[in-house]
Amino acid sequence: MSTIAIQPRTSRMISPVTILIYLILLGALIFTLIPIVFMFSASMMPSKDILKMPFRWIPRGFHWQNFAKAVAGNDGSYIFIRNFMNSMIVSGIVTLTTVILSAITGYGLAKFRFKGRNFVFLAIMATMMIPFEAIMIPLYMVATKFHLQNSYGGLTLPFLVNAFGVFMMRQYLLPFPDEFLDATRIDGAGELGIFWYVVLPNCAPAIATLSILTFRSQWDNLLWPLLIAQSEKMKTLPLYIVKFSAEKYTNEGAMMAVAVLASIPMLILFFTMSKYFVSGSAVFNSRKG
Amino acid sequence: MMKKALLVSLLIMSLALPLFASGAQEATGPVTITFWTHEDPNRTALEDRYIAEFQAANPDVTIERVTNSSKKMPELLLTAFAANEGPHIFNTQIEDGYAYIANGRVAPVNLGAAGFKSVKDLKASYVDGVLDAVSEDNNVYGLPLELTNWAPYLNKQIFRDAGLDPEKDYPKTWEDMVAVSQKIVSREGEIITRRGFDFRYPYYLVSMVPMVEQLGGKLVSDDGKTAIVGDEAWLKFLQFMADWGPNGLNLGSPTYKNGRKLFNSNNNDMGMAMSGLYQAGRIRADNPDFYNSGDWMVIPFPQFEDAVEDVASAYYGHFYMVNSQKADREQKVAWEFITYMLSHSEEYLTEVGLIQPTKALMSSETFANIPYADVFAADMAKGNIVYYAENSAKIQELIKEAVEGVMLSGIAPEKALASLKVKAQEVLDQE
């Protein structure tokens, strides 16, 4: 049994550069957190207090009516619950398919040699250069021709896989040892079996990172659901939030309360998967084993 | 082998698409009318009831009313119409809606369905001129859901605190507005904590172009060929705004919170704010104590002392329009439903604070009994419809640039005007 010798810590002078870096980071942290703190704080205040200058960061009490209004909605229909579920379903479906399809495609592009492999990869990458607004109208036309308005199909189909996901998974799998795959083939495993039982479990950090990024982008997606979901029952949370901004009047308190409620799933997702997410930063690092 | 598998997969996927699909409307039989409008809780309650009543009277008709944020409506409508999938009925501000008329995307009012013998009869039922914005080739292409003009709402308590008598000392001129605001304004250092009045900065066409018109200037010449007419008027207006702003008398600024939003709270931070008749309903909803206190009033849109024209705030409007791409029968039903809704103009006024300027409503007792409705009506008679054209949003952006330039960046009014003239002319020439 070996013992580990613990080195006594030596006190070191913190350099001015380090202090400066920490100060910059602290500034960036405050800058990032202010809107979030404002959202939480304002969600607990009556609208009258939200508009008061200077802004009182600590609410005088908990104005629960904001949350009641947020859940009940302008018309008291409680459609919030359905819209919340829609967001969960749409984000969940898109995340699942993006991860699986991106992993399969990324694996194919990283580990299989075939004619035109680089062209296929570049063609997929080229789609990242096209802004969504440019394809929005033709996409809407296709969706309406297939009568996909007000359906989960319409909400999810355009996003089932994305180029960034393919790129990310390919980059992650490039350094994966070929010898390991060959050994598994010699043992008699089929290609799908290799992918499912060997490759996928080794991609956990990349999958977690891609999941968070995809889920978040769908959770926040406003433009496509705005076009395709015209039924109140099929709307998603971003559409529900903007309804509190009526033409002549904005209910800031209720709007902030909905924003708080809408943030909860993202916060849970981020904090439960953050350790993988951090590891995911190594996705683009070479890690030849 | 792989290719075949891929093709089969794609075929299965495309065949499976209808499984995700929602049902399409039948071409015959019962008719479904889609109706896109903007979010307004009070109006929603009203129109949901009208839908129920109309459907009960017309069992083969289903009205699907969809609300969206007003900020998103223009984008939504553009996309839907580009894909030939626009709704049967929609409403939008005339500045956005005019393009649909110009491009033939909306149908003229079905006179039979709307209960009129002729276009002349239809126009005669409304206040003179209010349908001009939706009239082309002796047809009318929309009916007003609302026409709104603005006037200053005044907090009497703040006036009294400043030693002013609101009934006597309210500002009649823009010069008065400066003097009164100087008495009311409070500051912490250079930061204003209480404003006497402030403008509705994003809406330059509605509330500021009339100020220029008072001085004899124009946004566009009568023949529509020249932008920014009357240098002297524009210079005086820009100088007034420069003096108003933080580099001048520091009475207000576009950087502060919208005054209309602060007014209802009665937090001793907004003496006067510019808004429409609908604001009274919002005060009642937001702050019933303030509403019932009688500590607020509405005053006429001020004039410049040396005004050459008696002009009040412009009025802007939302018009209900009908998609011309829909079948004739559906268009007719759509107009019947719009007519049914608009037959309740008194209810729109009392419940939502929207003015549908029919002669019948404007002369009704209901209108006369709405607090300060007379002020808005008198001002509306002195105002013009807001500038509407395909370029109106761009023109408004250029005025914003000029006003914010003189107010916030210290740009000389002459320089701001020169730049505004050149850019606005370029925009106009592109039409």
Question: Which tens digits make up the pLDDT trace of B194-209?
Answer: 999 999 988 899 999 9
> Which of A104-113, A117-126, A247-256 is predicted least confidently?
A247-256
- Residue A124 CA to residue A102 CA, distance in Å, equals 11
Residue B238 has which token pair? 């820009």
> What is the pLDDT of chain A when averaged over all its residues?
86
pLDDT of B311 higher than 80:
yes
pLDDT at B167: 95
Of A154, A157, A248, the CB nearest to B282: A248
User: What's the mean pLDDT in B109-132?
Assistant: 92
* Mean pLDDT estimate for chain B: 90
Residue A69 pLDDT exceeds 80: yes
Q: Which of A252, A246, A258 is nearest to A79 (CA)?
A: A258
- Residue B253's pLDDT is 94
pLDDT, one tens digit per residue, over A13-67 is 788 999 999 999 999 999 999 999 999 999 999 877 887 767 788 888 888 889 9
pLDDT at A274 over 90: no
Whether residues A52 and B82 touch (CB distance < 8 A) is answered with: no
Percentage of chain B modeled with pLDDT above 90: 68
Higher pLDDT, B108 or A283: B108
Q: Give the C-alpha separation, B336 to B33, whole Å.
A: 11
> Confidence band (pLDDT; 50, 70, 90) for B235?
very high
Average the pLDDT over each of A271-275, B3-7, B211-215, B256-260 and give the range with the smallest value: B3-7
A247-256, B62-71, B273-282: which has the minimum mean pLDDT?
Answer: A247-256
Cβ B299 vs Cβ B375: under 8 Å = yes
DSSP class of residue A250 equals: B
For the beta carbon of residue B308, count every other beta carbon within 10 angstroms.
13
Which pLDDT belongs to residue A284?
Answer: 53
Count Cβ–Cβ pairs < 8 Å, chain A vs chain B: 113
DSSP characters for B183-204? HH-EEETTEEEEEEEE--TT-H
Residue A245: pLDDT band with limits 50, 70, 90? confident
Q: Determine the Cα–Cα distance for residues A39 and A20; give it in Å rounded to an integer.
A: 29
pTM for the model stands at 0.77
Tell if the CB–CB gap between A248 and B40 is shorter than 8 Å.
Answer: yes
**B23 shares contact with chain A (CB less than 8 Å):** yes
Which residues in chain A have Cβ-Cβ distances shorter than 8 Å to B70?
Answer: 245-247
DSSP B364-414: SHHHHHSTTHHHHHHHHHH--BPP-STTHHHHHHHHHHHHHHHHHS---HH
- The predicted pLDDT at position A12 comes to 66
Closest in A48, A231, A232 to B267, CB measured: A48
β-pairing, B315-322 with B151-155?
A: unpaired
pLDDT tens, A146-188?
999 899 999 999 999 899 999 999 998 888 888 888 888 888 8
Q: Which of 72-91 (A) contact B at CB < 8 A?
A: 74-75
Percentage of the residues of chain A whose pLDDT score is greater than 70: 90
**Highest mean pLDDT: which range of A206-210, B156-160, B281-285:** B156-160
Q: What is the signed CA dihedral for A273, A274, A275, A278, rounded to 10 degrees?
A: 130
Q: How large is the angle between the packed helices B73-82 and B94-102, nearest 10 degrees? A: 10
Residues in B closer than 8 angstroms to A75, CB to CB, are 41, 44-45, 48
Residue pair B309/B216 in contact by the 8 Å Cβ criterion: yes
Give the pLDDT of residue A282: 57
Query: Could you give the angle at the alpha carbon of B386 between the alpha carbons of B420 and B339, nearest 5°?
Result: 155
What pLDDT is recorded for position B305? Answer: 96
Asked whether residue A103 carries a pLDDT value surpassing 90, the answer given is yes
The token duo for B207 is 């509330």
Between the alpha carbon of residue A181 and those of residues A111, A178, A194, the distances in Å are 9, 5, 7
